[in-house]
Amino acid sequence: MIDLRSDTVTTPSDAMRAAAADADVGDDVYGEDPTVNELQSRAADLLGKEAALYVPSGTMGNQIAVRTHTERGQEVLLEEACHTYKWELGGIAQHSQVQARTLDGGERGVIAPEQVRNGYVQADDHRPGTGLLVLENTHNAKGGTAIAPEHIDAAAEAAHERGVPVHLDGARLFNAAAALDVPAARIAREADSVMSCLSKGLGAPIGSMLAGSSDFIERARRVRKLMGGGMRQAGIVAAPGLLALENRDRLQEDHRRARELAAGLDDVEGMTVPQPETNIVLVETDEPAREVLDRLGERDVMGSAFGEHTIRLCTHWDIDDEDIETTVERARGV
């Protein structure tokens, strides 16, 4: 089976399994797991923030960030196809009791500073006030676009001018960093908090990191407990996470394979495939995406339906060059 549905489907390497078995552990709810503490300090360094918190999933990291930054009844500005708004079960309304105000980030999911200024709402007797701006990089739904730090800076500055904090959903921030050849910390520089997943292209079985100021992380830690995300001997899963953080350079290979996959599939009749910026390939299909996926599935190739006529394919570390060739061949058969 060639599974291109997501970069979350990777299974842990032998080294990761060995690291899990050998991990020094303690009770992380008491802050006593040395492996978790090491992971949090390494992640804080790489993300350029004072502190970081290990959380079970990217979704929980984003939800904790929204809850920590905002007060009940405020508005949150987000890109209309972003994960925090669209793919987290409306969690910001459920957990934080905030209202979403969406902005159209266009083809690449970039929010312009004017959009932040226009979307901002000043609190008064009738209006709730804007409590947070959420940005996403790479932008998943727009095909893994790697947004340059200058765009992130500009949107963040527009929010900060109005006293609005900024959260960056960097589930695939290290993909953006690899594609743009800049440190992840540079991209996240103007964000007050940033979430990044260990369990996607970096290959860890579980976990994401939420980073920010020491004060923010102290408060986020209480929200994590509230949401049931306080884990005990979590060093067992944090140890593979430490190895995952060293897989950052390997993401370039996923990006190269994604470009090759896109070029190959673009030559297949009935498919239009723009060149990807990172590891996410969006395939426009003449026929309904579901039907094309069914027929690919019969040939042991899996992808995700992303729209009526859009399929998403993700490269990751369980996909090699041969898998790319085989996928293109089988797509021709379809």
Ligand X SMILES: *Cc1c(COP(=O)(O)O)cnc(C)c1O
Which residues form the interface with ligand X (CB under 6 A)?
57-59, 62, 83, 136, 140, 169, 171, 197, 199, 208
Nearer to ligand X, 111 or 328 (CB): 111
The 271-272 sheet, strands edge to edge: 271-272, 280-285, 310-314, 304-307
Residue 305, beta-bridge partner list = 311
Nearer to ligand X, 28 or 169 (CB): 169
Query: Smallest distance, Å, CB 280 to ligand X?
Result: 9
Return the amino acid letter for 67: R
> Helix 235-245 and helix 14-22: axis angle, to 10°?
140
- The beta strand positions in the chain, using DSSP E, are 2-3, 51-55, 75-79, 99-103, 130-136, 166-169, 193-197, 208-212, 271-272, 280-285, 301-302, 304-307, 310-314
Using Cβ positions, the residue closest to ligand X within the complex turns out to be 58
Query: Smallest distance, Å, CB 122 to ligand X?
Result: 29
Name the residue among 250, 252, 224, 278 with its Cα closest to residue 40: 224
Nearer to ligand X, 131 or 143 (CB): 143
3-state helix, strand, coil in the chain (%, to 5): 45, 20, 40
Residue 53 in tokens: 């918190």
Nearer to ligand X, 171 or 283 (CB): 171
Q: Are 161 and 128 in contact (CB under 8 A)?
A: no
Nearer to ligand X, 138 or 285 (CB): 138
Query: Smallest distance, Å, CB 61 to ligand X?
Result: 7
DSSP for 52-109 reads EEEES-HHHHHHHHHHHH--TT-EEEEETT-HHHHSSTTHHHHHH--EEEEE--GGGT
Query: Smallest distance, Å, CB 334 to ligand X?
Result: 27
* Cα–Cα dist 205/134, whole Å: 26
Query: Smallest distance, Å, CB 133 to ligand X?
Result: 15
Nearer to ligand X, 198 or 265 (CB): 198
Query: Smallest distance, Å, CB 330 to ligand X?
Result: 26
Nearer to ligand X, 58 or 149 (CB): 58
Query: Smallest distance, Å, CB 9 to ligand X?
Result: 11
